[in-house]
Amino acid sequence: MFVDKAAITVKAGDGGNGAISFHREKYIPSGGPDGGDGGRGGDIVLVADDNMSTLMDFRYKRKYTAPNGENGSGGLKTGKDGADLVLRVPRGTLVRDRESGAIIKDMSDDGRFVLARGGNGGWGNKHFATPTRQAPRFAKNGMKGQSREVILELKLLADAGLVGFPNVGKSTLLSAVSKAHPKIADYHFTTLYPNLGVVWASEDSSFVLADIPGIIEGASEGAGLGHDFLRHIERCRLLVHVVDASGSEGRDPVEDFKAINEELARYNPGLASRPQIVAANKADLMAEENVENRRRFSDFVRGLGLPLYEISAATGRGVRELVLAVASELQKLPPIQVFEPDYVEPEISPDTCEDLSIRVEDGVWIVEGGWMERLMDRVNFSDSESRMYFDRALRSSGLFERLEAMGIEEGDTVSIYNLDFEYRK
């Protein structure tokens, strides 16, 4: 089964918590704090794999979580970092943000891409020792790992793509010019998924050719299989438009040619201007009564300024000339398109409360948000010094000013993640 689109959720590992510990050793009565830091959470990493051709691995497993970092311990021992979780995807896979559809990364290179970063480990209480606070009884919790919902979308990496109606001989042509072995039969929609083949034009010239199946009238709106596979043409630098010029099925080659180009233009206007070479296939089946039809098609294509090659993929007639023409044209064209990222990472300032939501329910002021959640993770509410740190952070963030501007009164209840506080100015 060919799968070229999958929606997955990834969660990087959380950082380990810092330790609260004090040095205890004979003859050293005041050893001081020695809590170690937490380990860093593992990343979610994507790597392009040339041995993969579909996204089948992501069809049934949709959620991926990297290991958390281990907590710190006494004796200034740092927790172990969580291992990275490496996900392999076919080369040419686009990674999109599920909510906005924006491109995060085009997996067409050889580098490792960090899709979700693990949280940093928390500090042990050793970091909070000062000349006036020599025995801090609080530490910093690890940061949460990044979480994403993304869509993986495979766009095949091919130099040239074979397009045309079903049963015009695209698969036969691909098998004739490469070592690919697509299924070939005398009925429509024999090819149910794209096939790739490497074509050797000469000792120092080769290119990748793709057989794109299922394009019919209405394909750009979802008819047939075209809506699923039109995306694979977007990377092709050159289109080889295969037409049954013999009219063996009673079809008009001129109308077929127009119909396919209209579907390409509807799907992506840029495809309408993509360079094309026309292959008039099944030349061995052209009967005397088809001579006029053949001449009309030839005049129409050449009138558009497009090169035309009469071939027979089944017998090999004209195929070599077509291959050389494709290789020559590809040498003039720019490299395969690589899609540039257009996703903008949301910015959340760690020093302000701008991302907080404040609402009033039954007289209780409820405060929530990413900044507050991270702040709560750092505070040990059983320790007075840690609570003082919490109060200072709230005041310096501007939260009190926002609450007062919204009309909070002294003595009102403020609820922050199931912890209730009495408001005092």
In a domain, 392, yes or no: yes
At 216 the pLDDT is 61
One domain, residues 7 and 109: yes
CB 18 within 8 A of CB 139: yes
One domain, residues 166 and 144: no
Q: Which of 154, 176, 201 is the C-terminal boundary of a domain?
A: 154
Strand 364-368 with 413-416, pairing: parallel
One domain, residues 307 and 380: no
- Backbone region of residue 319 per phi and psi (left: phi > 0; alpha: psi in -120 to 50; beta: other values): alpha
One domain, residues 223 and 83: no
Q: Count up the domains in the chain and report the number.
A: 3
In a domain, 14, yes or no: yes
- The DSSP result for 275-324, as a single string, is -EEEEEE-GGG--GGGHHHHHHHHHHHHHTT--EEE-BTTTTBTHHHHHH
Q: Write out the chain's pLDDT in tens, 425 residues.
A: 467 889 999 999 999 999 988 888 877 777 789 999 999 999 999 999 988 878 888 988 999 999 999 999 988 899 999 999 999 999 999 999 999 999 999 999 888 999 999 988 888 888 878 787 788 887 888 888 999 999 999 888 889 989 888 878 888 888 888 886 665 555 455 555 778 888 998 888 899 998 887 666 554 555 445 556 777 888 899 999 998 887 766 778 888 889 888 888 888 888 888 899 999 888 777 655 567 777 888 899 989 999 999 888 888 899 999 999 999 999 999 888 888 888 887 654 555 566 788 888 888 888 888 778 777 776 767 677 777 888 888 888 888 888 888 888 888 888 887 777 888 87
In a domain, 339, yes or no: no
In a domain, 340, yes or no: no
Number of H helices, E strands in the chain: 9, 18
Task: Give the separation between CA 340 and CA 79, rounded to whole angstroms.
Answer: 38
In a domain, 336, yes or no: no
One domain, residues 278 and 169: yes
At 218 the pLDDT is 54
Give me the phi and psi of 227, to 5 degrees please. -60, -35
At 127 the pLDDT is 82
**CATH number of the domain within which 70 lies:** 2.70.210.12
One domain, residues 308 and 404: no
One domain, residues 324 and 401: no
In a domain, 344, yes or no: no
**CATH number of the domain within which 239 lies:** 3.40.50.300
Q: Which of 123, 139, 154 is the C-terminal boundary of a domain?
A: 154
One domain, residues 103 and 178: no
In a domain, 103, yes or no: yes
One domain, residues 366 and 295: no
At 29 the pLDDT is 73
At 93 the pLDDT is 92
* Structural domain range at position 296: 160-330
One domain, residues 29 and 68: yes
**CATH number of the domain within which 363 lies:** 3.30.300.350
Give the single-character DSSP code of 86. E
Q: Which of 112, 135, 154 is the C-terminal boundary of a domain?
A: 154
Residue 320: both structure tokens together:
């070599």
In a domain, 74, yes or no: yes
One domain, residues 260 and 387: no
At 115 the pLDDT is 95
One domain, residues 126 and 191: no
How close are the terminal C-alpha atoms of the chain, in Å? 65
